[in-house]
Amino acid sequence: MTSTHSLHLWLLPLVPFAGFLVNALLGRRFPRALVTAVALIATLIPFLQVLGIASQFSSLSLPHLEQFGTWIAAGSFHADFTFALDQLTLVMLLVVTGVGFLIHLYSAGYMAHEDGYWRFFAYLNLFMFFMLTLVLAENYLLMFVGWEGVGLASYLLIGFYYTRDSAANAGKKAFVVNRVGDFGFLLAMFLFIAHFGTLSFSSIFSQITAHPELHGGFLTAIALCLVLGATGKSAQIPLYTWLPDAMEGPTPVSALIHAATMVTAGVYMVARTHVLFDRSPLALSTVAIIGTATAFFAATVALVQTDIKRVLAYSTISQLGYMFLACGVAAYSSGVFHLVTHAFFKALLFLAAGSVIHALSGEQDMRVMGGLRKKIPVTFWTMTMAVFAISGLPPLAGFVSKDEILYHAFTAPGPGKLLWFVGLFTAFLTSFYMFRLWYLTFFGENRAEKAAAHAHTPASSHHAEVDEHHHAIHESPWIMLGPLAILAVLSVIGGWMGWPEGLGGGNWFGHFLAPALASQHVAEAGSNSLEVTLALISTLVALAGWFLAHLFYFAKPELPEKLSVSLRAFYNLLLNKYWIDELYGAVVIAPVLFLSRFVLKGLIDTGVINGGSYAAAYTTQGMGAIVQRLQSGNIRSYAGWLALGAAGLLLLTYFGFGAHLSLR
């Protein structure tokens, strides 16, 4: 299988890992410039290598496998360090290394004044190592290394400002909630081993392909376990709760890990496993329903959030829901396409939001922003591109990929029309809340100066990113604006490579991925009026959202206030995120703690088990006292008792106590 020349795929993850080791072990003593250089080079090399691979991609025989030894071998089971390269992997590699490098670059400016600079870059490189392992892995076990590893990097980076309780809590929450998902992933792996005897992708998928009669049944069980894993990593219902809290991390982390790359791992995994999902309609519908519900639900919460990063966090959850919807209607390449365009515009949104926060010396509350359009023009214009893109205005990237998903949902059998409608309505909400953010941040009067008159409340300056000596609102340095500009260009043109055939394009992206994601549900080619109509409707919906936001937050800024008063109950429901966190606390965490603390610890461990042992101890002490009375020497008395006991038991044995005291 291995092609004649090696691509040295092992270098891809190991170079960032080396960067991690250097900065983690020595970074504390390095000057900042050296830390930056190490981290950037450790990300640039893999990016260049991926570009090199892409340039000779057509000459490779795919999938291209490279094996580097055995990781675990026990009994008949073994799992190897094997990397695989195919079209899907290449797309992921380009996104991870490309966007990853841009965000590293941006971070060099954004984090310039932070303590623990070396630590930040060490963690970032560690993340790259695990993420690249995740997308390159040729078996589930190695994928799980990346899967849990990115969770670790996320934990470390969310808790970067660890002296704040909120950050430390958020990091732990992210890890533990992800572990719930990983529980599903583990069960899926156990099922794979039990049924296929291996975890290798090629081997499992060829076995499934070779047995067309396999349908549903245990395949559904495996698929549903994997879905549980994916909902954890990709922040879908019911395990999405960690992602909004993850905003405690520095903003570049939110861009890289909690928007562009790590959270898309669930989508990647489902697409990678499409052979299995195609055999399980139930699992597919589950994915579609979870995705649609999450997209809608998160969008409603985003409507009322006032923290700029939280809006983007819920928006990310919502957009990931679209990708799930795509996978759920077996339009995997559309899901991956949206993953790519989303990586561009959502990374840009976060980075631009970071630039805004940077300009306002750590302020994240949109209520005290406003009027920044003229003050930070580059940030404004780049962010505008991202807002247009995510709102689905043609011909930007978000329009193309989201529209393709809605089209596939519409044409899907079963409840497809319903999924399409909810998706469409969510698109309207998306457009509304994104333009709300846009207006609140950049238009109207500057509310920041007004707020500055008030003392710095703990709530408004809770970010350690606060730079006390910066008062004037200032544009960010070039090292931050450069990545913004590049991502802005990609947010505009990034969708064109997948322009649907139904709208007169070539859908080059879909055709490129087709060999890797060959699905039973092959989309039909050729221009058709249905797709044009749907695209038109989407565009109108996006414009409607813009119009409404314009009305609410530009033309008549007093309207939202009135509306929130008249719809108080509903408003509070959204503002408090449907009280889901509180619900989980009451239904899951509190009972577990109650059980552990009072039933297990208080009653069983202290009462029964310890009580029993103390009773035993007292008995022995009593026995010892008797023995001491009978005998003079302690040792002799113990030996005597031992012998006596032994003799007694031997006698019992001799008379066949086995016959009387049987187990059965």
Partner 1 sequence: MLNDHILSLTTFVPAAGALVVALLPRRGRVIQWFTLLVSLLTFALALHLPWHYVYGQSGFQFEENHSWITSPNIRYHMGIDGISMWLIVLTAFLAPLGVLASWKAVETRTKEFYFLFLLQQTAMIGVFVSLDMFLYYGFWELSLVPMSILIAMFGRERGPQTALKFFVYTFLPSALFLVAILWLYAKTGTFDFVQMQHILAQDSMLFAPKALMWVSLAFLVAFAVKVPVFPLHGWLSDTISEAPTAMAMVVAGKLGLYSIIRFNLGLFPVQAREVAPWMIAIGVIGILYGALLALVQRDMKRLIAYSTLGHFSFCILGIFCFAVMGLDGSVYQILNIGISDGALLILAGALYERYGTYELAAYGGLATKLPNMATLTVITGLSLIGLPILNGFVGEFLILSSSFRTHMAWGAAATIGVILSAAYMLSMIQRIFYGPQSALVANRPAYDVVAREQLALWPMALLMLIMGVASPYWIRAIDGATHELANGVHYTMSLAERR
- 82, 86, 101, 284, 347 from 5: Cα distances, Å: 16, 15, 27, 38, 35
Element (H, E) at 200: none
Considering only residues 518, 540, 567, 593, which one is a binding residue for partner 1 as defined by CB under 8 A? 593
Name which of 559 and 642 has its Cβ closer to partner 1. 642
- 105, 167, 454, 465, 467 from 112: Cα distances, Å: 11, 20, 28, 10, 11
Name which of 158 and 243 has its Cβ closer to partner 1. 158
Site for partner 1 in 615-644 (CB under 8 A): 616-617, 620-621, 642
Closest CA to 70 of 62, 82, 84, 58: 82
In the complex, least distance from residue 504 CB atom to partner 1, rounded to whole angstroms: 47
Stretch that binds partner 1, among 49-57, 88-96, 372-380, 587-595 (CB under 8 A): 587-595
Beta bridge partners of 79: 72
Q: What is the C-alpha separation between 87 and 65, in angstroms, rounded?
A: 13
Site for partner 1 in 175-214 (CB under 8 A): 175-176, 179-180, 182-183, 186-187, 189-191, 193-194
| Residue 662 touches partner 1, criterion: CB under 8 A | yes
Q: What is the C-alpha separation between 424 and 532, in angstroms, rounded?
A: 15
Q: What is the C-alpha separation between 603 and 594, in angstroms, rounded?
A: 12
- Whether residue 19 contacts residue 41, with contact meaning beta carbons closer than 8 Å, is answered with yes
In the complex, least distance from residue 635 CB atom to partner 1, rounded to whole angstroms: 12
* Residues 185/189/192/197 CA torsion (nearest 10 deg): 170
| Residue 30 touches partner 1, criterion: CB under 8 A | no
In the complex, least distance from residue 609 CB atom to partner 1, rounded to whole angstroms: 5
Burial tier of 328 (Cβ tally within 10 Å: 0-12, 13-18, 19+): buried
| Residue 32 touches partner 1, criterion: CB under 8 A | no
Name which of 530 and 652 has its Cβ closer to partner 1. 652
| Residue 655 touches partner 1, criterion: CB under 8 A | no
Considering only residues 32, 172, 373, 511, which one is a binding residue for partner 1 as defined by CB under 8 A? 172
For 160, phi and psi rounded to 5 degrees? -60, -45
x/- site string to partner 1, residues 597 to 616, per CB under 8 A? x--xx---x--xxx-xxx-x
Token pair for 457: 């409340």
Q: What is the C-alpha separation between 199 and 138, in angstroms, rounded?
A: 9
In the complex, least distance from residue 597 CB atom to partner 1, rounded to whole angstroms: 5
Q: What is the C-alpha separation between 255 and 351, in angstroms, rounded?
A: 6
| Residue 10 touches partner 1, criterion: CB under 8 A | no
Considering only residues 144, 407, 420, 443, which one is a binding residue for partner 1 as defined by CB under 8 A? 144
x/- site string to partner 1, residues 64 to 103, per CB under 8 A? ------xxxxxxxx--------------------------
Name which of 221 and 514 has its Cβ closer to partner 1. 221
N-to-C CA span, the chain: 56
Name which of 217 and 612 has its Cβ closer to partner 1. 612
In the complex, least distance from residue 232 CB atom to partner 1, rounded to whole angstroms: 10
Q: What is the C-alpha separation between 399 and 401, in angstroms, rounded?
A: 6
Name which of 161 and 435 has its Cβ closer to partner 1. 161
| Residue 496 touches partner 1, criterion: CB under 8 A | no
DSSP string, 490-553: HHHHTTGGG--GGGT---HHHHHHTTTS--SSPPP-S--HHHHHHHHHHHHHHHHHHHHHHIII
| Residue 569 touches partner 1, criterion: CB under 8 A | no
- 32, 35, 111, 121, 125 from 115: Cα distances, Å: 11, 13, 8, 12, 18
Any idea what the Cα angle at residue 329 is, between residues 264 and 325, rounded to 5°?
40
Q: How many residues bind partner 1 (CB under 8 A)?
A: 70
In the complex, least distance from residue 486 CB atom to partner 1, rounded to whole angstroms: 33
In the complex, least distance from residue 646 CB atom to partner 1, rounded to whole angstroms: 5
Name which of 32 and 521 has its Cβ closer to partner 1. 32
In the complex, least distance from residue 176 CB atom to partner 1, rounded to whole angstroms: 5
| Residue 149 touches partner 1, criterion: CB under 8 A | yes
Name which of 61 and 596 has its Cβ closer to partner 1. 596
Q: Maximum CA pair distance of the chain?
A: 106
Interhelix angle 117-136/265-272, nearest 10 degrees? 10
| Residue 417 touches partner 1, criterion: CB under 8 A | no
Beta bridge partners of 78: 73
Q: What is the C-alpha separation between 87 and 93, in angstroms, rounded?
A: 10
Name which of 61 and 653 has its Cβ closer to partner 1. 653
Instruction: With H, G, I as helix, E, B as strand and everything else as coil, classify residue 68.
Output: strand
* Residue numbers at the binding site for partner 1 (CB under 8 A): 28, 70-77, 141, 144-145, 148-149, 152, 155, 159, 162-165, 167-169, 171-172, 175-176, 179-180, 182-183, 186-187, 189-191, 193-194, 592-593, 595-597, 600-601, 605, 608-610, 612-614, 616-617, 620-621, 642, 645-646, 649-650, 653, 656-659, 661-663
